[in-house]
Structure 1
Amino acid sequence: MGALCKAATLRIGGLALLLALLPSARAFATGRACVARAGAPARRCRALAAGARAADADVDVAVVGAGLGGLAAAAILTQRYGKTVGVFEAHDTVGGVAHAFKAGGFHFDAGPTIVLGCGGAPGPAGAVSPLRQVLDATGVADAIEWLPYDRWGMIVPATEAPECDGRWDLVLGAGAFERGALARFGGPHALAEFAALREATAPLAAGAQIPTLAMRSDGWSLLPLLRHTAPVRALLAHGASVPTGPFAPFLAGERAGGIGAGVRDAWLLAWLDALAFSLSGLPAARTPAAAMAAVLQQLHGKCGAQLDYPTGGFGAIARALAGAVDGSARACAARGGGELALRRTGSFVRCRARVASIDVEGGRARGVTLSSGARVTARDGVICNAPVWALDALLSGGGNGGAPVDETLRSFSQRASRAEMTRSFLHLHVGLDSAGLDLTELRAHYTVMRSGLLSADPCAELNMIAVSCPSVIDSTLAPAGKMVLHAYGAGNEPYELWADERRGSAPYERRKVERAQALWEAVERVIPDARARAEVALVGSPLTHEAFNRRPRGTYGAAAEALLADGRTPCSRLVLCGDGVFPGIGVPAVALSGASAANALVDPLRHWAELDALDRERAAAVAAAAAAAGTAS
């Protein structure tokens, strides 16, 4: 399955409370498309390109990595706080595992395929998705047009659902799942067990009421939460440790608060494992309880949840955030109302600029050194959006003048490097001729269970295959009469099968063809003659994912139990963000961790004042939307 994304995290001292919904499926670009970089002042760009060894650039904050977490942090620091930020990315394009690329005239998403809660006008409580909240706060929400839809297709072996030839839809909204798939495939107690599970986990979903911009990864994390005492009390209803713990006690009925006796129905258990695997790369029992609570509440709630796809593909999100960093984008309703040019503070994003080391002096992060030898001084600190497994190497990369790294910091970084990794990916990007196909009969997204949902482990190797068909709702992704498909196994491809291969070698190419047969079979369950129609077909392996996105072992991300509690480190002014930090894997989750990291480098009173400004902007946006609706009626 692709990504249904929603996350909210509450941190009280050492407490981290996660609410996340079906994150993005991690991926890579098999092409080398170069997105236009967010601009920097010409003098600074030339200095960095020249690789001079003096202090080639001075910024307030240096950000390692232009993944969505790093871009979110940089955009917030620039647009909300007026900071000068430099973002340094080793790849030739922005977006990290959520970047996009073009091949043969087709536009492909490298990773995420669907998100939830990003479209539509903000309500009185604001947007639900942390990603949308970041886009709103940084003034670039209007740079993205969201295309909504309300279901995805499920394809299982015909023997599991012979009456519908193994094909059915998961429809979002109150009662739709209960009246549809659960009533059809579940046992006699499935409906009651599902209702009890939703009721028992409902308090954990209260974190959605806490704004993403209220989060901060430092010792002042409690202060902004004083503005939101009601959802905090609801989150703590089960006890402080439950939301960050695994979902296993809820499945067993141990945390039901007297409601029900857990889940015993075999089909419902298999379905929950499938949802959880999309979320975390792990079965439901090992997935954070609050994450599963968000799944149960958001997919099946009363508010008419919808899936969203950004026109032009997911690369539009990274480009919008990069545009917020350098102030090149324009959007409506930012500070003061009307259409305004964004702030220009000299912030910039540099691609093909690999960070060799994070420079630490006197127990404080002072900047970064690039692989070219260029030094960047960061007055206020450094945000690291690189995978947590890279942190130890970055802290011992030679940029500290040979000075030894503090033992406490080294111990922390080495512990981070031992975090359990989930498995990797296998991808198939296809551009094909759609002549004669009725696209209105296709779904924008499918989940294909090759070996079965009930008859096999949903988390088994290459069992669950996502098949994204975004051309069904966005014709801009392909030339007229063509369409794009993206099939992938997220977190279910063993890296060990590829560890001894060399990219580009004949054995490696043969293995790609062999392993991709599972993906082609899944695609053919959607379009039977897809191979004959294919004009572009690109296979990406765990090694591709590892090489292009610098993901160790091509991993999906850190296992839920291995996530760092927050972005704090023993080093002053060094903050982490990304999918190795709570809330973990997923586009909105990393957007939230980026916001937390950004706020941690700002004075808490300045942060409080900015939350007041955001409240005023939200109220103005709601009033404007209501006025527009009244005029239209």
Structure 2
Amino acid sequence: MLTLADKTGSQTDAEARPHAVVIGSGFGGLAAAVRLGARGYRVTVLERLEQPGGRARVHRQDGFTFDAGPTIVTAPFLLEELWRLAGRRLADDVALVPMDPFYTIRFDDGATFAYSGDPDRMQAEVARFSARDVAGYARFMAFSREVCRIGFEELGHVPFGSVGSMLRIAPDLIRLSGHRSLHAVVARFIRDPRLRTVFSFHPLLIGGNPFRASALYGLIAHLEREWGVHFAMGGTGRLVDGLVGLIRSQGGAVRCGAEVARITVADGRATGVALADGTEIPAAITVSNADSAYTYGSLLAGGSRRWNPRRLARARSSMGLFVWYFGTRRKYPQVGHHTILLGPRYRELLADIFDRKHLAEDMSLYLHRPTATDPLLAPEGCDAFYVLSPVPNLAGGQDWADLAEPYRQRVQARLEATLLPGLSQALVTSRVTTPQDFADDFLSVRGSGFGLEPVLTQSAWFRPHNRSEAVANLFLVGAGTHPGAGLPGVLSSARILDSVVPDARSCACPSTDRSARRAG
């Protein structure tokens, strides 16, 4: 065996700390690294791409800055806690500004709903669409508050590692209609079809079908009202840079261009990772921020009785995402920071995407114009945009090498006919990301945008556990484990490590030196 010495060639006191390896540098992996560093581990984050962030990477071209993934911050206290754990303040590194409204929902007939966190303004918006639904809206928000209290505040950072843990919440699950879909529960409170759409679409933000996702995801409405919706000045990439800085300030490392080929296992325990170049990196604990289906299906080569190849093949993956990033030589001041542009169909379009896996002619779009808040993300006098269209994942068999440009043109035509007149003449830069890119770049199974679909039978105990039941010393964070996708979800998955990973300063974890081994 060839030993590759570390940069100093000697082992310092810091290097004698138990070593933790984190696979992937998405928000879940970066948050996990900060938390482990605060609890005495020496942490190495391994990222196969050339920049950290995972789905939150940044594209820079022609003077424009495009956040590739998350565009908003909810529950900012989860980020503030990470900075405190590293002895810093979030506000010293990143400026978060509140969105008002959170977003504008535009229906196919041109009617708009301004969705905000102000109760009086929201009640007025509801009344403008349907006065008879004002009381029902108030009841729905009371429901959302209770679901948020239990589902997020009490259980969002609690591991579901046993059947008993699931059974203990069963009474609350039934009482809060967790066995019903969110749209079905919204329909109990609200009669107007357009308002039912307004208050049921939130699961789409985390990869779920509102007609199938558990009503527990109704918590998002209260979560947004309680803690607001924010934008990070400079883009979400500033948060990634800040987290990388925290890890390094703790003595940890973030290595890009380091592809993990497998998790090494001995006597039923994870012992570290092997890289694609043959290098082996030993670790006392291993944390995977990779797609959970990829973790079990590839990094462990199906080495789990519960998450075996047959189970993974039957699992439901979230939808795919088509994202077009573009810049214009002119500004569109009439367009807000966030706009949800709905098509003529709701239920049927979602059935095409999630069930039939059919790429429909019509579409609904999420349009992000960050330069409405931060003009410095584009050259002077220009606007930067990101438009996302939910599409089938790769199980639909679409060949995106052929479809990407025709579909982009359809998205462009839809935007030009509604929100962005003159778009064709105004374009100065453009790039797209398809479900195939999610599979190639992020190793996302079926090219899904958010990992496993958030249905009840793939939530909590039914989801891959934060502490692997297959291999000791292996832990999972990110969208594919409990509690699920979305920035609050993946940050909470890292928070769970505090209760399932022993503190390095008091546990019997074996220390591992910093050397890496190359087979051969």
TM-score range, shorter chain: 0.7 to 0.9
User: Matched residues in 1 for 2:188 and 2:388: separation?
Assistant: 36
Residue 356 of structure 2 corresponds to none
Residue 129 of structure 2 corresponds to 185
Residue 98 of structure 2 corresponds to 148
1:315 has 2:237 as partner: yes
Query: Within 5 A, what are the aligned runs for 1:201-600?
Result: 201-207=144-150, 209-210=153-154, 215=158, 239=172, 245-248=178-181, 251=184, 262-283=189-210, 285-292=211-218, 294-299=219-224, 301=225, 306-327=228-249, 343-344=250-251, 347-379=252-284, 381-396=285-300, 409-414=304-309, 415-416=311-312, 418-434=314-330, 437=331, 439=333, 441-451=334-344, 461=360, 463-490=363-390, 492-495=391-394, 499-500=398-399, 503=401, 508=402, 511-524=403-416, 525-556=418-449, 557-561=451-455, 562-563=458-459, 564=463, 566-570=465-469, 571-597=471-497, 599-600=499-500
| Aligned residue pairs, count | 476
Change (3 A) 1:43 1:211: farther
- What are the superposed Cα offsets for residues 454-513 of structure 1, whole Å, 9 maximum, x if unpaired? 9976986563201100011112211222221001113x3453565446x4xxxx2xx222
Q: Return 196-205 or 85-94, whichever deviates more.
A: 196-205
The offset of 1:356, in angstroms, is: 0.8
Query: Within 5 A, what are the aligned runs for 1:28-107?
Result: 44=6, 60-78=19-37, 80-107=38-65
- What are the superposed Cα offsets for residues 219-278 of structure 1, whole Å, 9 maximum, x if unpaired? 8x99xxxxxxxxxxxx9695256569344389359xxxxxx9554443332323323323
User: Matched residues in 1 for 2:21 and 2:8: separation?
Assistant: 17
User: Matched residues in 1 for 2:346 and 2:120: separation?
Assistant: 21
Q: Matched residue of 1:447: which SS?
A: strand
Q: Retained in 1: the 8 A contact 2:468–2:476? A: yes
Change (3 A) 1:94 1:150: same
Q: Retained in 1: the 8 A contact 2:73–2:232? A: no
Q: Matched residue of 1:286: which SS?
A: coil
Residue 137 of structure 1 corresponds to 85
Q: Retained in 1: the 8 A contact 2:272–2:281? A: yes
Q: Retained in 2: the 8 A contact 1:64–1:89? A: yes
Residue 116 of structure 2 corresponds to 171
Identity %: 22
User: Matched residues in 1 for 2:25 and 2:431: separation?
Assistant: 24
User: Matched residues in 1 for 2:119 and 2:495: separation?
Assistant: 31
User: Matched residues in 2 for 1:581 and 1:587: separation?
Assistant: 13
Change (3 A) 1:61 1:92: same
Unaligned runs of 5+ in 1: 1-41, 48-55, 119-126, 159-164, 223-234, 254-259, 328-342, 398-404, 608-633
Q: Matched residue of 1:519: which SS?
A: helix
Q: Matched residue of 1:527: which SS?
A: coil
- What are the superposed Cα offsets for residues 144-187 of structure 1, whole Å, 9 maximum, x if unpaired? 111222112222223xxxxxx4344223221322211x22223x
Q: Matched residue of 1:239: which SS?
A: helix
The offset of 1:371, in angstroms, is: 0.6
1:111 has 2:3 as partner: no
Residue 122 of structure 1 corresponds to none
Change (3 A) 1:456 1:166: farther
- What are the superposed Cα offsets for residues 3-29 of structure 1, whole Å, 9 maximum, x if unpaired? xxxxxxxxxxxxxxxxxxxxxxxxxxx
Letter in 1 for 2:74: L
Residue 162 of structure 1 corresponds to none
Q: Retained in 2: the 8 A contact 1:59–1:376? A: no
Unaligned runs of 5+ in 2: 10-14, 354-359, 508-520
User: Matched residues in 2 for 1:133 and 1:593: separation?
Assistant: 14
Change (3 A) 1:195 1:591: same
**TM-score of the aligned structures, taking structure 2 as reference length:** 0.81
The offset of 1:209, in angstroms, is: 4.4
Letter in 1 for 2:129: F
Query: Within 5 A, what are the aligned runs for 1:8-47?
Result: 44=6
Letter in 1 for 2:239: I
